[in-house]
Amino acid sequence: MACASLVQPAFAVEPFEIRDIRIEGLQRGDPGSVFGALPFRIGDTYSDEKGTAAMRALFATGLFKDVKIEQEGRTVVIVVAERTFISKLYFTGLQEFDKDAILKALKDNGIAPGLPFDDALIDRASQEIKRQYLSRSFYGVTVKTTKTPLERNQIDLTFDVSEGGIAYIEDVRVFGAQTFSEQDLLDMLDLTTSGWLTWYTRSDRYARAKLQGDMEKIRSHYLNNGFLEFDFTSQTPVGITPDKLHTEIDLQIAEGTSYIVDAVRLEGDYLGQEADFRQRVSIRPGQPYRADDVAATVREFMELYGTFGYAFARVEPRPEIDRARGLVTVVLRAEPRQRVAVRRINIAGNTLTRDEVIRRQFRQFESAWYDGRKIKLSRDRVERLGFFTDVIITTEPVADAEDKVDLLLTVVEKPTGSLMLSAGYSNAEQLTLAASVRKDNVFGTGNYLGVDFSTGKYSRSMAVSATDPYFTDDGVSRSVEVYYRTTRPVNSVGSAYQLATPGMAVRFGIPYTETDTIFVGVGAEQMRVGTASGIPNSYFLHVAEFGRNSSGFPLTLGWAREERDNPMAPTKGSYKRINLETSLAGDMRYARLNSQFQQYLPVTRKLTLGLNAEVGAGYGLQGRSYPVFKNFYGGGLGSVRGFEQSSLGNLDVTGAFNGGTRRVNLNSELYFPLPGSGNDKTLRIFAFADAGNVWAENQSMHWGDLRASTGVGLSWISPVGPLKLSYGRPVRYEATDKIQRFQFQIGTAF
């Protein structure tokens, strides 16, 4: 009998032809895993070299802690000692964490059922569980581990967790501040002592990562006010009480001197375009040194280099300090490095969406010079499709080609279809029932198809619509809609009559810049007025002129410019649109003009100011009256909050609100993040101020007629659409106005 060693065989084995291979020692493993690793088979010639190679291969599988190879005649015997494997993990004492969260954290560290076990894993697992608790300020947590051996070389592990208590922050202090008050610095921090809302925000729980972030906020504040040599001098800013239930944070700082920018000097290779680069410098001589301005200038330089094809340009800011004069010269040293072209654009992650739907959004082309501006625009255009939860573009060097790169666009798809059956209640509509089937990315083509049905107290509708965003290869879109709507004016005195509007429309969107689109369309619709019982006087006059069934063939011409960073939850940018609708054929002849302007301004890092202005006017043409059902309405969400929906304007003689032929609507909203929501912009609170009104054709417009209100509200981009709740208080109103302080609606954009 012979035994082969991994280092040196005990004695040489004469080569022989293998007649059989036998495995001994397996308890839970698959013999196939052993045979698959062996470098020989029955009928091969066995040698010491093959034996050594077999042992190396078996150890490399990680399944065995010991391997021996023995010979019995012409039979090779593989004797293995399997490693112990984890069967199950058990936990006791978990309250702060869900078991699945701890299991995931352990799995990420190589500890999970089905994986090999050794004693070193126990300490690693205990440390990982403690780390999870430390991230939530549980500094008194202890972990005890129990091993339970099982048959077939398996083991169960039980972790007994004693959580202890939360280490709340008892005090936060800043020492050494002279230029700024301690309170001003403390107001910048996310970590605080306990307060009336900290049960929700958890800002009174110490965490090392949060403290590091707060320290960087203070550092950035000083660097943005000229203090180039600012630093923290305390080595251990956190003290924990012996019971591990309270912490104190003491931040020792050294402000240094505030420096004024004396000059900005460019060094290096600026491609002969130094004047263009200087125009992008936001660092201002004579002003205090600001780190944010330096970082913004570096980004602008990198972006400009990117437009020339230099994807890996390096721009290094270097301050030259004159301490005697309190001045600093900012030197920007640039090295463009190698100019590169895009060899190939690869797309990953799109299991449903066709490649062409994504590629047609690209403004960076293959075999063209790398252009950072076009790449960013391409990413933004793909993100605006709304088909993906995440869109990332990475640049990958090409082996053996320094002048080429590949782009990899990785997307994470999200469901784009919905089937909805719902009932709801709103102040204006009372009980509403709705059903819809919608698909934004039909069969991965990027097209939209929808069928909607809704019913409420004042309006009912059924509509089928379809949109092809690339009806032509140049990006001209086509939308087709067929609809049937019935309405009943708010506050009408009777309920037996009904207004029905069947119709259809085709509209084309023609983009002529990256942000501008022209819309043209044509449609046909009919106005049907029901029985005369309870009919408002304005509709009675419409019937007298046009009859109970009147038709129109509206033509539409519009323009829109979209420059918001996010149409659903914008924080900056603007949106402008003008739309003209006119009917020159059929019974009704009219022109209807509507324009809107929105501007979003970032007031601070967390506050956003939104402004909205909307003006509309309608006129009858060719001696005919303006159709009453094309009137503008005001009041309620989307207009002047605090007033009942669509209740602004004069009453007709029958007491019905019929809107008017002209409208002015002004809105302002100041958005605040919901405490504890972090950077989530889909859920925000806001304060608002509204003003507006509508005027009939025979009324003169006066600014004194405007109604106005102020209030607060909640904005949420919910799974079923934009949701707004508001509580408004009218500040300019008449005694006859319909006041409604609390209002909510799904689908209101502003």
Report DSSP letters for 226-279, one per residue: TBTT-EE--S--EEE-TTSSEEEEEEEEE---B-EEEEEEEEE--TT-HHHHHH
pLDDT of residue 101: 81
* Model confidence pLDDT, tens digit, residues 141-193: 888 988 888 887 788 989 999 888 888 888 899 999 999 999 989 888 888 88
Q: How far apart are CA 693 and CA 593, in angstroms?
A: 16
- Do the beta carbons of residue 536 and residue 489 sit within 8 Å? yes
CATH class belonging to 3-82: alpha beta
Q: Name the band, by pLDDT with cuts 50, 70 and 90, for residue 431.
A: low
Percentage of the chain exceeding pLDDT 90? 40
User: Which run of H or of E encompasses 730?
Assistant: strand 721-732
Copy the structure tokens of residue 620. Answer: 């009858």
Q: Where along the chain do the CATH 2.40.160.50 domains lie?
A: 563-746
Q: Name the band, by pLDDT with cuts 50, 70 and 90, for residue 12.
A: low
Give φ, ψ of 312 to 5 degrees.
-115, 30
Q: What average pLDDT score do residues 14-21 get?
A: 88
Name, of 390-394, 505-509, 711-715, the range with top average pLDDT.
505-509
Q: Name the band, by pLDDT with cuts 50, 70 and 90, for residue 419.
A: low
Q: Which of 694, 626, 642 is nearest to 664 (CA)?
A: 694
Task: Please write down the long-range contacts of 282-288, taking CB distance under 8 Å and 24 or more positions apart.
Answer: 283/330, 285/261, 286/260, 286/261, 287/260, 287/261, 288/225, 288/226, 288/258, 288/259, 288/260, 288/261
Q: How far apart are CA 694 and CA 645, in angstroms?
A: 13
Q: How far apart are CA 122 and CA 157, in angstroms?
A: 9
Q: Which of 602, 612, 690, 688 is nearest to 648 (CA)?
A: 690
Q: How far apart are CA 247 and CA 239, in angstroms?
A: 5
Q: Name the band, by pLDDT with cuts 50, 70 and 90, for residue 750.
A: low
- CATH topology for the 168-254 domain: Ubiquitin-like (UB roll) (3.10.20)
49 pLDDT above the threshold of 60 = yes
480 pLDDT above the threshold of 90 = yes
pLDDT of residue 494: 45
Q: How far apart are CA 61 and CA 643, in angstroms?
A: 74
Q: Which of 403, 398, 427, 236 is nearest to 310 (CA)?
A: 403
Distance of CA 642 to the CA centre of its chain: 31
Task: Report the SS3 class of residue 20.
Answer: strand
Q: DSSP string spanning 65-101? A: EEEEEEEETTEEEEEEEEPPEEEEEEEES--SS-HHH
Beta-carbon count within 10 A of 405 CB: 22
Q: Which of 555, 570, 622, 578 is nearest to 601 (CA)?
A: 570
Copy the structure tokens of residue 719. Answer: 């799974």
Copy the structure tokens of residue 143. Answer: 């972990």
Name, of 388-397, 658-667, 721-730, the range with top average pLDDT.
658-667
Q: Which of 395, 396, 393 is nearest to 380 (CA)?
A: 393
pLDDT of residue 493: 46
221 pLDDT above the threshold of 50 = yes
pLDDT of residue 492: 44
The secondary structure of 666-717, three-state, reads EEEEEEEECCCCCCCCCEEEEEEEEEEEEECCCCCCCHHHCEEEEEEEEEEE
1 pLDDT above the threshold of 60 = no
pLDDT of residue 430: 53
Q: Name the band, by pLDDT with cuts 50, 70 and 90, for residue 455.
A: low
**What is the crossing angle of helices 120-134 and 99-108, to 10°?**
130
Q: Name the band, by pLDDT with cuts 50, 70 and 90, for residue 7.
A: very low
| CB-based burial, 435-460: b 16+ in 10 Å, e otherwise | ebebbbbbebebbbbbebbbbbebbb
Q: Which residue did the predictor score with more confidence, 642 or 424?
A: 642
Range in 10-24, 135-149, 311-325 the model is least confident about: 10-24
pLDDT of residue 538: 80
Q: What average pLDDT score do residues 479-496 get?
A: 67
User: Which run of H or of E encompasses 217?
Assistant: helix 208-223
CATH class belonging to 563-746: mainly beta
- Tell me the one-letter amino acid at 2: A
Cα 248 to Cα 173, 217, 262, 418: the distances in Å are 8, 19, 41, 51
- Do the beta carbons of residue 15 and residue 45 sit within 8 Å? yes
Q: DSSP string spanning 321-387? A: EETTTTEEEEEEEEE-----EEEEEEEES-SSS-HHHHHTT--S-TTEE--HHHHHHHHHHHHHTS-
Q: Which residue did the predictor score with more confidence, 426 or 691?
A: 691
Cα 306 to Cα 303, 340, 345, 614, 658: the distances in Å are 5, 9, 17, 39, 57
The secondary structure of 582-595, three-state, reads EEEEECCCEEEEEE
Task: Report the SS3 class of residue 133.
Answer: helix
CATH number, domain 260-335, options 3.80.10.10, 3.40.1160.10, 3.30.70.60, 3.10.20.310: 3.10.20.310
- Tell me the one-letter amino acid at 648: L
* Model confidence pLDDT, tens digit, residues 512-571: 888 899 999 999 999 888 765 667 778 888 888 888 899 999 999 999 999 887 777 788
317 pLDDT above the threshold of 90 = yes
Q: Name the band, by pLDDT with cuts 50, 70 and 90, for residue 707.
A: very high
pLDDT of residue 136: 78
Range in 13-17, 108-112, 154-158, 654-658 the model is least confident about: 654-658
Beta-carbon count within 10 A of 183 CB: 9
CATH class belonging to 85-162: alpha beta
- Tell me the one-letter amino acid at 589: R
> Mean pLDDT, the chain, as a whole number?
85
- Do the beta carbons of residue 519 and residue 507 sit within 8 Å? yes
Q: What average pLDDT score do residues 436-454 get?
A: 81
∠569-572-575 over CA atoms, to 5°? 80
Burial of 174 (0-12, 13-18, 19+ CB in 10 A): buried
Residues, the chain: 750
pLDDT of residue 459: 57
Q: DSSP string spanning 529-574? A: E--STT--HHHHHHHHHH-SEEEEEEEEEEEEEE--S-SSS-SSEE
677 pLDDT above the threshold of 60 = no
| CB-based burial, 266-289: b 16+ in 10 Å, e otherwise | beeebeeeeeebeeebebeeeebb
Cα 696 to Cα 232, 405, 661, 735: the distances in Å are 67, 63, 5, 19
Q: Which residue did the predictor score with more confidence, 175 or 240?
A: 175
321 pLDDT above the threshold of 90 = yes
Q: How far apart are CA 259 and CA 322, in angstroms?
A: 9
Q: Where along the chain do the CATH 3.10.20.310 domains lie?
A: 3-82, 85-162, 168-254, 260-335, 342-413
- Do the beta carbons of residue 326 and residue 259 sit within 8 Å? yes
End-to-end CA distance of the chain: 87
CATH class belonging to 342-413: alpha beta
∠149-151-154 over CA atoms, to 5°? 55
